[in-house]
Structures are given as structure tokens and as C-alpha cells.
Amino acid sequence: MKKEQLKELIKQELQSVLTEKQAPYDERELANVAKMTDQNNHLGARHYIAKNCHYEKLRKAYQALQDLQNALGHSPRGADKIRQDLDKDLKKYISKDIPNWEEIWKRL
């Protein structure tokens, strides 16, 4: 195989990996998100999505907000602004990565 052919093959493979979308959420996963939201565990639902999608930065941030809420017994002042900022990133990522992202977002 020539060097140019090998470069082209590698380029095509990388492109397919980078543009590959995750599988859509099935009904069981959607039900888990809805259940957490119904139980007023909004941070837990967001953490669950970030964890399943391997968004490590968001997973850690939502976990930190949950830990803070658990330690204080309530959401501290300013935490809602942080969550809104994180939600913007989460929505941006899942809209690119998950085909049925609207179904997930409706359940939050």
C-alpha cells in the first residue's frame, strides 16, 4: 500500500469516528430520566445523561452541585445560574450526539 493511500484511509477512518453519533435513548433510559425529574431530582437526571454520554466535565460538575445540595439540604444561592450554564453545554452536546435528544430534553 502506498503512503498516500494509507494517509487517505486513516483520514477516512478518523472522519467516520469523529462524526459517529451515539445510539438513541431507549424507552427505559427515557423513563429513568423522567422518573428522576418527577421525584424532583433534576440534578440527578442531568448527571445520569452526562454519565451515559461520557461527558466527563459535565458529569463532575453536576455531581459537585448534587454534593453541595446534599450537604446544605438545599440549593445554595447562585447554583441555579451554574446549572443553567451547564444545561446550555449539555443541550449543545446531546443535540449533536444523540438522534432523539428532543425526547430527552422534554423529560428534564
pLDDT averaged per 10 residues in sequence order, the chain, 108 residues = 70 56 78 92 94 93 94 91 95 91 89
Is residue 37 domain-resident? yes
Residue-averaged pLDDT of the chain: 86
pLDDT tens, position by position, 57-85? 999 999 999 999 999 999 889 999 999 99
Q: What residue numbers bound the domain in which 48 lies?
A: 24-107
Is residue 71 domain-resident? yes
Is residue 82 domain-resident? yes
DSSP 37-103: HHTT-HHHHHHHHHHHTT-HHHHHHHHHHHHHHHHHSSPPTTHHHHHHHHHHHHHHHHHHH-TTHHH
Number of structural domains the chain divides into = 1
Is residue 15 domain-resident? no
pTM (predicted TM-score): 0.76
